[in-house]
Structure 1
Amino acid sequence: MTPGPIAHPLLAATAGSLGGVVVLDLSRVLAGPYAAQFLADLGATVIKIENPSDPDVARGFPPYLRHGDEEVSGYYGQYNRGKLGLALDLAGEDGKQVLKDLVARADVLVENFRPGTMDKLGLGYEVLAEVNPRLVYTAISGYGQTGSRSRRPAFDNTAQAAGGLWSMNGYADQPPVRVGVTIGDLSATLFGVVGTLAALRHAERTGQGQLVDVAQVDSIMAMTETAVVEYTVDGKVAAPAGNEHAWVRPYQLFPCADGQVFFGGYTDKLWRASCELFGTPEAATDPEIDTMRKRFDIEVYERRVRPLILGWFADRTRAELEKLAGDVIPLTAVKNIGEAVDDPGTAEREMIVEADYGEFGTLRMFGQPIKLSATPATPARIANRLGEHADAVLAGLAGYDAQRIAGLRERGVI
């Protein structure tokens, strides 16, 4: 039976839904750290383990909170909030043993190195599963742990390119455009969290851990909506369509008096409601455009439907259109990120939280989108400094005494 954590205040189970779960986070930059941060928000005790001489490069990413000549990365803070910090050199035998001692009492390990890296260190899944058979080992990588491409280096753009998404994004008469956020990392994060929780439940029920293998390329392919089946069924290769849906109409961006709005009144019910709201009830019964299937026809849409909608919106502002649409039809102003952050609805959902960094000031960052009624998440926390909690982690989780910890520090292991 795997021994439990040694008593220490920093390692005490929280009130969150994952309270008592101990996670070792060896990952860097985004996909792995964000997955571990999800678990931390939900109550897990997450220990961020970094190389003392080569820490997470995200510590140097902008934007920065500054105090004198010192700075703290807001990027790092957003994806590593609420974690404990341990700097550990895994190159030597001392460091490897420390990790094994931590693994013996942990529930989950998260890493996003290129496949084979942990094996070269002698710390791959098979080795660590011998130490702790209950261990859920989550490995996020570009191409996955298996297959002929597994050892290839990969970034977010690699996944967007290899997974087919890049070729689908942009405008038909221009070269493809990457999705404007690191969706390859972010999609792997979400699938990594789902896989980790599924494996954790299995481990808690049976005592059997497992390897959770999540690839960025696989994750992107799983987010291409209907593109795969359109190809396998009809041989159709998805191509950029700009702001338009491949076949749902109206369902796109439209100009208005002071910007753009999204309008998606494509069903018969929504179309009738839209025609009533904008004072053209006769359009709802016009035999050429009175059904959804007729409005989906591109020639009919361009000739009859789009001009009608453009007329509805031309002299109205975004705010006027949103107010008119209300709770009746799907019409939303296209907001920049500042407008989205400052929207009262964002505050109502607690999607901007504040972490107090003392003399560095306050970091405002996005909150936790998962809302749990009985065990709410705790996202408004600061990130760890490099190696900040070494003594507490090694004493509280591995059971090391002060002399042993001091020896590790003297030898540069921590």
Structure 2
Amino acid sequence: MSERANAMPYDLSAWLPPAAQQGSLRGVVVLDITRVVAGPFCSMILADLGATVIKIEHPDEPDYTRDFPPLLENSTGGSFSAFFAQYNRNKLAMTLNVATPEGKEVLRSLVQKANVLVENFRAGTMDKLGLGYEDLKAINPSLVYTALSGYGQTGPYRRRPAYDNSAQATGGLWSMNGEPGQAPLRVGTIIGDLSATLYGVIGTLSALRHAERTGEGQLVDISQQDSVLSLTETAVVSYTVEGKVAEPLGNQHPFVRPYELYPCKDGFVFFGGYTDKFWRISCELFGEPELADDPGIDSMAKRFDPVTYEKLVRPILVRWFADRTKNELESMAGDAVPLSAIKNIAEVVTDPQIAARDMIVDVDYPDYGPLRMVGSPIKMGKTPPQARGLAPEIGEHTAVVLKALAGLSDVDVAELKRKKVIR
């Protein structure tokens, strides 16, 4: 039994970490019917901000990221997914089979007391169950119903299955990433999921503000494809205005130079001193102030020219950086011009700026030990988000939630368990 089971029964806030109870979303109840990343990450951000998030999982098919590596292991052979922990902290957990008549009825009871429901099924799935937005709005008109999916709730692709790669492919980003003249490369993280997450949070909070002011809920419809498209910078207007189709550029910017990766003694750095101001400062820092007035490269327009850049500017930067380490270059110029070491994750985890911003947090998991994970990038003066909460075990709070929100008795809970509606 978890130590959290010693909290007062029937009071859901008592089951949250004390710090989380003071968040700006305190009192907001979120039903989280999601799995993998986009949905769980969305509801986790709300949980970090103080919402009471109830993760609802199928009793026989819980979120399969519970088995994703890396795994925390204990002395008795048990394991707990650090992947799952990072995206499900600060949540309560219950099991419920919403495909059964009893499960549907329970969910409807929970919806009556909830402010937000988040789901990430394919469009139409919840409607087929009789649990779509229109169905639940009739029960709770102020409900904010956030649906995250591959292609959104409308349009010819709405019923297509999708993963992150689907969004990168159909949103245009994949075609733009990689080296010139080579096959496109996917972005090296699940940017389709993560961008949909962030838009999901923004949409949810906006709709929640409207609901609090008017009593009127709404559907928040987030598409991964839409989200990726919004990250393609100037690709759309470059095409619609000039007919240019964005192609892979490697580490270069489409028109700003110098603004890319450069080799140094022990790796690579990013240098973006393309303005006249930063270029002049850089020339002084690296002991060649006369280059700032060189008539061939003395303006941004000249340095932006691809031929001039490759022939005159890039060789200067390669010369400046080649015999210096990343740390030396950052110490020498990082405070004066945009120059940053390109760091691997091991270096990022121990970075002093990351530490100062509390972006790597330590969480002690009972029976498993400490887990270091990503903190919250949201910094707030009065109600800061809390990133040090635990992720729940499967169905850890089922009985508590059913009693507190659905008004069920111990006998009712036992009967649902007997019927395998809950675990």
Give the TM-score normalised by the residue count of structure 2: 0.95
- Superposition deviation, residue 8 in structure 1: 4.4
Provide the aligned C-alpha RMSD in A: 1.1
Residue of structure 2 in register with 1:41 after alignment: 48
Alignment of 1:316-395 (within 5 A): 316-395=324-403
C-alpha distance in 2 between matches for 1:375 and 1:139: 27
Say which is worse superposed, 397-406 or 215-224, in terms of deviation: 397-406
Alpha carbons 2:31, 2:53 under 8 Å: kept:
yes
SS of 2:284 mapped into structure 1: helix
Q: How far is 1:69 from its partner?
A: 2.0
Unaligned runs of 5+ in 2: 1-9
Alignment match of 1:413 (pick from 409, 416, 421): 421
Structure 2 residue aligned with 1:279: 287
How many residues get paired? 409
- Assess if the C-alpha contact under 8 Å between 1:49 and 1:87 holds in 2: yes
Query: CA 1:36–1:156 in 2, change beyond 3 Å: closer, same or farther?
Result: same
Distance 1:85 1:151 in 2: 29
- 1:66 corresponding residue in structure 2: 73
Q: How far apart, CA to CA, are the structure 2 residues paired with 1:222 and 1:11?
A: 38
- Residue of structure 2 equivalent to 1:10: 14
> Alignment partner for residue 179 of structure 1, among 187, 206, 209?
187
Task: Say which is worse superposed, 362-371 or 401-410, in terms of deviation.
Answer: 401-410
Which range is displaced more, 70-79 or 389-398?
A: 389-398
Structure 1 Cα separation of the partners of residues 149 and 15 of structure 2: 29
* SS at 1:145 equivalent: coil
Question: Are the aligned partners of 1:41 and 1:378 in contact in 2 as well (CA < 8 Å)?
Answer: yes
Aligned AA for 1:54? E
Distance 1:100 1:118 in 2: 13
Kindly report structure 1 stretches of 4+ aligned residues shifted beyond 2 Å.
Answer: 6-13
Q: Secondary structure at the match of 1:359?
A: coil
1:9 shift after superposition: 4.5
Conserved? CA contact 2:12–2:52, under 8 Å: no
Distance 1:291 1:33, change over 3 A: same
Show the 5 A alignment for 1:245-264: 245-264=253-272
Q: In terms of mean alpha carbon deviation, does 108-117 or 285-294 score higher?
A: 285-294
What SS is found at the alignment partner of 1:79? helix
Q: CA deviation at 1:7?
A: 4.5
How far, CA to CA, are the matches of 1:7 and 1:399 in structure 2?
12
Determine the C-alpha separation between the residues in 2 that align with 1:279 and 1:46.
57
> What's the counterpart of residue 116 of structure 1?
124
Contact 2:28 2:115 survives alignment (8 Å): yes
Q: Give how far 1:363 is off.
A: 1.2
Which residue in the other structure is 2:5 paired with? Answer: none
Give CA-to-partner distance per residue, 1:73-112, whole Å, 9 cap, x none: 0000000001000000111111001000000000000000
Counterpart residue number, 1:221? 229
| Aligned position for 2:7 | none
Alpha carbons of structure 1 residues 254 and 301: separation in structure 2 relative to 1, 3 Å: same
> Is 1:209 matched with 2:217?
yes
Are residue 20 (structure 1) and residue 24 (structure 2) matched?
A: no
Counterpart of 1:147 in structure 2 is 155
- CA distance, structure 1, for counterparts of residue 165 and residue 122 of structure 2: 16
Q: CA deviation at 1:11?
A: 6.4
Q: Is the 8 A contact 1:11 1:397 kept in 2?
A: no
* Matching residue of 2:92: 84
Supply the distance in 2 between the matched residues of 1:255 and 1:9 (Cα, whole angstroms). 52
- Distance in 2 between the 1:401 and 1:373 partners? 41
Give the unaligned 5+ runs of structure 1. 1-5
Q: Distance in 2 between matches of 1:7 and 1:263?
A: 54
SS, match of residue 367 in structure 2: helix
Paired position in structure 2 for 1:3: none
* Per-residue CA distance 1:6-34 (angstroms, 9 max, x = gap): 74443688210111100000001000000
2:354–2:360 Cα contact (<8 Å) kept: yes
Q: TM-score normalised to the size of structure 1?
A: 0.97
Contact 1:159 1:217 in 2 (8 A): yes
Output the amino acid matched with 2:420: G
Whole-Å Cα distance in 2 between the matches of residues 125 and 159 of structure 1?
A: 24
Query: Contact between 1:10 and 1:392, CA under 8 Å: does it hold in 2?
Result: no
- TM-superposition CA deviations, 1:358-399 (whole Å, max 9, x none): 221111100000001100111111101110001111111222
CA distance in 2, matches of 1:267, 1:309: 15
User: For residues 419 and 157 of structure 2, what CA distance do their matches in structure 1 show?
Assistant: 38
- Matches of 2:396 and 2:390, distance apart in 1: 12
- The amino acid of 1:292's aligned partner reads M
